[in-house]
Amino acid sequence: MMIELQTLWAALVLYVLAGSLSIFGVMLKRRPERFVLGLLLAGLLLHTAAITLRWIRLDHGPFLTLFEILLSNVWSMLVVFALAYWRVPALRPSAAVVMPIMFVMMGWLLMTNPGEGHMPPTYHTIWLYIHIGFGKVFLGALLVAVGISGVILLRQSRIGHGRFAYMPDDARLNELSFRFLAISMIFETLMLIAGAIWAQDAWGRYWAWDPLETWAFLTWLSLVLTMHARLAYKVTPRMAAIMVITVFVVAFLTFFGVPFISPVAHQGAV
């Protein structure tokens, strides 16, 4: 177990370096993007190794305890962000917004008990992986949208004004954020469908409004509301950014809050 944790800590150190470099890059108006990407990828490699070691040792994926859920979500969110960082160079400075969010999750991860949990019999199904996989893409795409939205908001403030000047204008960033929001909506929908299939077999019903199902559906509704609001009104980039961040807050509470305060069988493995 020690080697797993040491590998994880090394990965977290690399992430912190990548995030710090991004923040300093924005503050000093420099663009150390290749270093940041290199550090992110190196961190992801070590993180993958830590997850693999744990998976082999426990003979199940990181789906059960809060530690495992944070461990796998920090990984998946950063995988999606690193992909976006690599493929869409214009959004790279948004790492200065995204990485502090990830620092919070990493801090929470470090404070969580890394002990093992028990794999319930209903988790021995391919639908677990499909459901969780869709959920992770959803949250990762939403994180990218939040990073871009954070830049839009920061640009309105004294501290951010001028520091993101080399990024596209707010209208373009707003459009980019909307596209990641659309991706997250598709994957959230897929996550709900896969979850319903799993629930039908695991608990003999496809939907029962248990706390996690209810909040996952409310997250979906908040996404739908946000997207329709952009069509119904001339929403300013600032307002659109606030709405994206609100959706993220609802999703974050659903993923990382509800499963651990709810006593029902659906403990959440996303």
Q: CA dihedral defined by 40, 58, 110, 33, rounded to 10 degrees?
A: 0
Counting contacts by CB under 8 A, is residue 57 touching another protein?
Answer: no
228 binds another protein (CB under 8 A): yes
**Which residues neighbour 155 within 8 Å (Cβ) at sequence distance 6 or greater?**
161, 164, 170
Interface residue with another protein among 231, 234, 261, 263 (CB under 8 A) is 231
Quick one: which segment of 50-58, 66-74, 155-163, 202-210 binds another protein (CB under 8 A)? 202-210
Stretch that binds another protein, among 8-16, 71-79, 150-158, 188-196 (CB under 8 A): 188-196
Q: Does 186 bind another protein (CB under 8 A)?
A: yes
Q: Which listed residue (214, 238, 245, 262) binds another protein by CB under 8 A? A: 214
Q: Nearest distance from residue 106's CB to another protein, in Å?
A: 30
Shortest distance (Å) from residue 263 CB to another protein: 15
Contact between 30 and another protein per CB under 8 A = no
Q: Is 130 exposed, middle or buried (0-12, 13-18, 19+ CB in 10 A)?
A: middle
37 binds another protein (CB under 8 A): no
Using the rule CB under 8 A, which residue among 221, 236, 249, 260 binds another protein? 221
What are the φ/ψ torsions at residue 117 (nearest 5 degrees)? -115, 175
Q: Which is nearer to another protein, 23 or 235 (CB)?
A: 235
Q: Is 168 in the site for another protein (CB under 8 A)?
A: yes
Which residues inside 95-124 make contact with another protein, applying CB under 8 A? 118, 120-122, 124
Among 184, 222, 254, 267, which residue sits at the site for another protein (rule: CB under 8 A)? 222
Q: For the CB of residue 165, give the shortest distance to another protein in the complex, in Å.
A: 16
Q: Does 85 sit near another protein (CB under 8 A)?
A: no
Residues that bind another protein (CB under 8 A): 90, 118, 120-122, 124-125, 168, 171-172, 175-176, 179, 182-183, 185-186, 189-190, 193, 196-198, 200-202, 204-206, 209, 211, 214, 217-218, 221-222, 224-225, 228-229, 231-233
